Structure 1
Amino acid sequence: MNAAVVDGIVKAVLYEGYMLYPYRPSAVKNRQRFNFGVVYPRAYSVAQGGTDACTMQTECLVLGTEHTQCIVRVRFLRMVARSVEKLLPSANDLSSVKKENFEKTERFEINGRIYQAWQEAVEEVIEVTEFNLSALARQPMQWPFRLSARQESETIRDEHGAIVGMVRRDTESISGTIELAAAIAKQGLFKITARISNDSRLGDSRPVSREQALARALVSAHTILEVRHGEFVSLVDPPEAHRDSAATCQNVGTWPVLVGNENERDTMLSSPIILYDYPQIAAESPGDLFDGAEIDEILSLRILTMTDEEKREMRQSDERARQILERTEALPDEQWMKLHGALRGLRAVKGELP
């Protein structure tokens, strides 16, 4: 496996749609985010009549023997609710400040700095240790996981050093299960099933909004499968001998493709965004823009045409947005020429031209 190639594709899938141009929280298109690969808590899914899934299932084929081993990793984003509060009146320390003195606000600007309420994200990975496929065919396994809640806070001070506000970051707990099973499709061919379930509790019985459910959801979830002493079978273009077995694979909310260098068959990426086998990041791309449906050159040029105030909000709203802005503003001329276009896939013409 080419780890660098695989990781590049995984990162692109993980952050697709994370924040869209014009990369500001105030933009309409950034008010409802995280629409790919969301595995919601079961209770929320039931309340929505199953339209918002609480499970994700991958099925794929492996050519192997009794010695074939497999590793499964589930990667996803976990929401971090960033809230902003004003403190009235200001104080030099928090020892005498009461909770009711804080007042939530969507936006707070002081000393040229903008503080905004927002949903940040952290990357999470759940790894199921190496297991034997023959043993899995005899006995399915469950791998429960739990991520604890976290709380962080930082004070906002004015030019005199007095505390005038607070930024809080709250991360809710998430619990779930990875279920693994294998079946012998035919001699030397296994069918693997990897199913992700979100069992997070939502607390009281009151109706829960999508934003509240997202706090305990697996966002942009995808599954990476690696095999040793065996090889995966393409589901995009399966060999004729395995076409019938490939047709029985049921993938729910995700689609597995081969990843890595061309013709390597030891790694499969099951993604909520449908890809072809061996997807690649264009060599001309200077970095993530979180929008695979757009053209890098056009997005980058649009960023440069933003006003100073728009750039200020972009820079201060999110760390990843800041990186996009600074990278775009620093692009050298030769990189812009690369973004303008590239010619690939030329083949010799056989026979006479018409």
Structure 2
Amino acid sequence: MTVTAFASGTQARFALARQVADAVLFEGYVLYPYRASAAKNRLRWQFGVLVPPGWGAECEEHDFQHTECLMEPAAGATLSVEVRFLRARRRTVQRARPDGGFHTVGELRLDDRVLMPWDEGAEERVEVVAPVDDLFGDGVAVPFRRPAGEDARPVLDAAGRTVGRLLRRWEEACGTVRLSARELDGPYRAVRLTAVVENTSAWTPSDGGEAGRDAALPHSLVATHTLMALSAGSFLSMTDPPEWARGAVAACRNLHTWPVLAGERGSADLVLSSPIILEDHPAIAPESPGALYDATEIDEILALRTAALTDEEKREARGTDERAAAVIELADSMPPEVLERLHGAVRGLREATGPGPAAPDDGFPDEHGVRRPDTPWWDPASEAGFDPARDHVAVDGRRVGKGSRVQLRPGRRRTDAQDIFLHGRTATVEAVLHDVDGAVHLAVTVEGDPGADIRREQGRFLYFQPDEVTPLEDGA
């Protein structure tokens, strides 16, 4: 019923999605400035950590991921699943003694690097292949176990002499992959697929006398995510489903993970369920020169800052981890033309032509959004007719201007998480602004914000478009 080897066709399809899946796997693996001694590298691996059940009861992290999505499998279709995660390997640094033994040290300094204790991440995969017909009813459950182990590697100096060793230890990792399916009622043959990944480790904080997240990590499944492929048929988008499936999609439960269509754009036979919310068919930017692991900054800034590290900082980064060492080499060897590509890219072009004779130039686009070729992108004289403190805009048939009270309703397709947190809050309009493209923006301060007066004095506001607010009556 289940096997652990994928057919070559499935491997090829998964390979298309693994570039993005690798970014998920190593998200936050090592953070700039890529040194073990850096404060922000002392609390790592924030996404997709499935901790042992005995520890999960004492913290806010979880011991499982639960994915539900809709699919339309063809008759006789097979589902291939690949669960990927990292297993923490605790690395200890030891110095060689004259008697041939070793003792543990806090660091080992070499000419080209400084070795320090560190938790490395080793990739693990669990592969399951099952006919879709076998998933109905009780479904299938596939337990897996990765045994504990130890590895010692000598550290040699420039002359080839053994000056120490790196001792790596890893603990047993246990889990279960559960797959089930249920056919939904309706005019279309849609099936709800459920995929659950559990950490089943029996470890508890009392086993070794050590407690805390640092002790639980070696027994955890880190950066866990799931790839699922149909041999025949298709999955439905969970973010933009067809109208007939919206109710069924809304009823799906996704806990600690989110499924999106993966692979080539236009295909629908592959899903990536990730602890990081992605869009359908996510892709790595073609300008990206390589993995930088720290996604809190854009590649250009991160590459420049890494290249600017001191020689001593680079020595420690090289000794921290092989991947950190590769980042240092990447930043030091990046050609100027590669760095220039990181500054920006044009993703699409459209022809800027409009019908009919040229209209008088008023400094703004015409009704087709097109400017005349000889029109500068911005004409200072065009600002003469605007006054942010007195201008008004019509919203739901009412005039909204400075001093108006509104309720914030951010649009989901052009906002970020911070704006969404303000959904339903009331705010005061501070100004009505027009940009050079003719769009209108409302500058607001949120009511109840203790820093509103300071932001008002500094001219620092939040900005929303007119269709993202609802006017309020005074005192509402």
- Is TM > 0.5 for Structure 1 vs Structure 2? yes
- Give the one of 44, 56, 69 matched to 1:60: 69
- Give the one of 237, 241, 263 matched to 1:238: 241
The corresponding residue for 1:44 is 55
> Partner of 2:57: helix, strand, or coil?
helix
The corresponding residue for 2:40 is 29
TM-fit CA distance, 1:164 = 5.1
* Aligned counterparts of 2:137 and 2:260: Cα–Cα separation in 1: 26
Q: Deviations over 1:45-93 (max 9, x none)?
A: 1233xx2100111111001244222111100111010011335x422x4
Q: Deviations over 1:178-236 (max 9, x none)?
A: 11111111341110111111111226444522111110111000010001221000001
1:353 matched to 2:354? The reply is no
The corresponding residue for 1:264 is 267
Aligned residues of 1:90 and 1:164 also touching (Cα < 8 A): no
Aligned residues of 2:28 and 2:293 also touching (Cα < 8 A): yes
Aligned residues of 1:65 and 1:188 also touching (Cα < 8 A): no
Aligned residues of 2:115 and 2:316 also touching (Cα < 8 A): no
Aligned residues of 1:258 and 1:277 also touching (Cα < 8 A): yes
Structure 2 gaps, min length 5: 1-11, 355-366, 371-476
Aligned residues of 1:80 and 1:215 also touching (Cα < 8 A): yes
Bigger strand fraction? 1
Q: Which has the higher contact order (CA 8 A, sep 6+)?
A: 1
Q: Deviations over 1:84-108 (max 9, x none)?
A: 1335x422x4xxx5xxxx5432212
> Partner of 1:340: helix, strand, or coil?
coil
* Aligned counterparts of 1:179 and 1:83: Cα–Cα separation in 2: 36
**Aligned runs of 1:81-96 on 2, under 5 Å?**
81-87=90-96, 89-91=97-99, 93=100
TM-score, length basis structure 1? 0.90
The corresponding residue for 2:173 is 174
Q: Deviations over 1:290-326 (max 9, x none)?
A: 1233111111111111111111111222111111111
**Aligned runs of 1:1-354 on 2, under 5 Å?**
2-48=13-59, 51-87=60-96, 89-91=97-99, 93=100, 97=101, 102-110=102-110, 113-129=113-129, 131-156=130-155, 165-186=164-185, 187-202=188-203, 204-205=206-207, 206=209, 208-348=211-351, 352-353=368-369
Q: Deviations over 1:218-256 (max 9, x none)?
A: 100001000122100000111101111101111111000
Structure 2 vs 1, CA of residues 328 and 65 (structure 1 numbering), >3 Å: closer, same or farther? same
Structure 2 vs 1, CA of residues 9 and 106 (structure 1 numbering), >3 Å: closer, same or farther? same
Aligned residues of 1:5 and 1:280 also touching (Cα < 8 A): no
Structure 2 vs 1, CA of residues 185 and 347 (structure 1 numbering), >3 Å: closer, same or farther? farther
Aligned residues of 2:261 and 2:271 also touching (Cα < 8 A): yes
> Partner of 1:297: helix, strand, or coil?
helix
TM-score, length basis structure 2? 0.68
Tell which deviates more after alignment, 64-73 or 270-279: 64-73
Tell which deviates more after alignment, 149-158 or 295-304: 149-158
Q: Deviations over 1:127-176 (max 9, x none)?
A: 012x2223311331110000011101123467887765432000111111
* Aligned counterparts of 1:56 and 1:39: Cα–Cα separation in 2: 8
Structure 2 vs 1, CA of residues 3 and 135 (structure 1 numbering), >3 Å: closer, same or farther? closer
- What is the count of residue pairs matched by the alignment? 342
Tell which deviates more after alignment, 11-20 or 201-210: 201-210
> Partner of 1:67: helix, strand, or coil?
coil
Paired amino acid for 2:44: R
Aligned residues of 1:289 and 1:324 also touching (Cα < 8 A): yes
* Aligned counterparts of 1:284 and 1:158: Cα–Cα separation in 2: 37
* Aligned counterparts of 2:314 and 2:112: Cα–Cα separation in 1: 13
Tell which deviates more after alignment, 238-247 or 108-117: 108-117
* Aligned counterparts of 2:134 and 2:75: Cα–Cα separation in 1: 8
Paired amino acid for 1:78: R
* Aligned counterparts of 1:323 and 1:200: Cα–Cα separation in 2: 33
Aligned residues of 1:90 and 1:162 also touching (Cα < 8 A): no
Structure 2 vs 1, CA of residues 294 and 117 (structure 1 numbering), >3 Å: closer, same or farther? same
RMSD: 2.1
Paired amino acid for 1:69: T
* Aligned counterparts of 2:158 and 2:196: Cα–Cα separation in 1: 53
Paired amino acid for 1:180: L
Structure 2 vs 1, CA of residues 322 and 160 (structure 1 numbering), >3 Å: closer, same or farther? closer
Structure 1 gaps, min length 5: none
Structure 2 vs 1, CA of residues 301 and 159 (structure 1 numbering), >3 Å: closer, same or farther? closer
Aligned residues of 2:113 and 2:317 also touching (Cα < 8 A): no
Q: Deviations over 1:247-269 (max 9, x none)?
A: 11111110000011111001000
* Aligned counterparts of 1:161 and 1:326: Cα–Cα separation in 2: 23
Paired amino acid for 1:82: R
Structure 2 vs 1, CA of residues 17 and 113 (structure 1 numbering), >3 Å: closer, same or farther? closer
Paired amino acid for 1:54: D
